[in-house]
Structure 1
Amino acid sequence: MPPLPVNPRLPLSLPLCLYLLFLAFAAPVAAQQADGAQLFARRCASCHAIEPGATGGAPNLAGVIRDSLGLTGTKFGCGLAQCGACTVHVDGAPVPACQTWISDVEGSEVTTIEGLSPGGTHPLQRAWIAGQVPQCG
């Protein structure tokens, strides 16, 4: 895939613009403790229960979101919290999911790209598609 054209008049990079859109339009995906299970409720009304010890060996939030829940919008990039590919919101604050332990988000609201709208109709989801976000699911 050829690189996207760069407009020298724009001071913001495409990833930064997408991140700012994410901040502006993100809707929470709930993560709550219920009967000893980690529960992730997506805005599109499907819920996933993760039993303790059933995280597929993934102790971090990115691994659980992708591998256990099958939500591939959260990407693995550098694994060092440097690139931002794994950024999700926990209680409204951006955090690197690759460096966040699953136990740290109990009782918190976790927002991923999938939680914005069913069918990919949210402005941020459309921007990802239009911008050809390079991280594949």
Structure 2
Amino acid sequence: MAKTGVLSSDPTVRARAAELKKELQRLVRNIVDDDDYSIHAVDRAKDALCALRELMLNRRSTATLKLHETVSCPEEFKCPLSKELMRDPVILASGQTYDRPFIQKWLNAGNRTCPRTQQVLSHTVLTPNHLIREMILQWL
């Protein structure tokens, strides 16, 4: 079979590829061996395969996002509004962390309360949450 993509020499990318392959093997083995497999298992195998393909095409950021779908994402890394992995976590005046585009949309709609606590906000300045961002990057 001809190779259409070249896996990066970056050890992080190679480690992700190895992790994806292992997860894909586990999922396919479960699907093949279990007569009563779930559609969720098939979807997860498809996602792992797509993420591996993206790595092979050197689309590292897309592959990273696909990887988070294949592996269970910690709830602390998900935006309370979108329920998706945060890409640009920011802290609101209430002390709650949200993904910037989603909380910005909330504020632009004229809301002046925290969506989670309903607390009236003293200001609408969004402060980057570097700690959560770094934890997400390490998890990825």
User: TM-score, normalised to structure 2's length?
Assistant: 0.24
Answer 1 or 2: higher relative contact order, Cα 8 Å, separation at least 6.
1
* Bigger Rg, which one: 2
Per residue, is there more strand in 1 or in 2?
1
| Greater helix fraction, Structure 1 or Structure 2 | 2
